[in-house]
């Protein structure tokens, strides 16, 4: 799958505040920008690039759709993050690349 236009910004100081919401968090994607607290491996980057593609498909509605998918998973008795359909798509994308 072609890589969408993106930029990766690495800011080590993001690790602690991001950990408040997700214990094992690594990065957050907003539009075409990926903010990470460390350099990303190839498979991790592909995961975030899927989120870039999701932003492109859904536009400014993406955050609300993401939140809706999390709430839907939670209401169904599933895990709000792990079972979010957007995260499932991103994990599938990361599995399609060879990890170094």
Helix/strand/coil for 64: helix
Would the pLDDT of 27 be above 80?
yes
Tell me whether residue 2 is in a domain.
no
Structural domain span for residue 11: 7-95
Tell me whether residue 85 is in a domain.
yes
Tell me whether residue 1 is in a domain.
no
Tell me whether residue 100 is in a domain.
no
Domain count, the chain: 1
Would the pLDDT of 29 be above 60?
yes
What is the sign, positive or negative, of the torsion defined by CA atoms of 38, 40, 44, 50?
positive
- Do 37 and 26 touch, CB atoms closer than 8 A? yes
Its pTM stands at: 0.89
Would the pLDDT of 100 be above 60?
no
Q: Quickly state the pLDDT bin for 16 (edges 50, 70, 90).
A: confident
DSSP 8-state class, residue 26: -
Tell me whether residue 34 is in a domain.
yes
């Amino acid at each position: 799958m072609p890589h969408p236009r993106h930029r990766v910004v690495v800011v080590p100081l993001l690790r602690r505040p991001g950990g408040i919401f997700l214990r094992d968090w690594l990065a957050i994607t907003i539009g075409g920008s990926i903010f990470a607290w460390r350099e990303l491996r190839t498979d991790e980057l592909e995961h975030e690039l899927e989120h870039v593609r999701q932003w492109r498909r859904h536009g400014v509605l993406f955050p609300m759709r993401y939140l809706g998918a999390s709430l839907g998973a939670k209401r169904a008795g599933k895990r709000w993050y792990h079972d979010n359909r957007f995260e499932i798509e991103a994990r599938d994308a990361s599995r399609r690349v060879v990890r170094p």
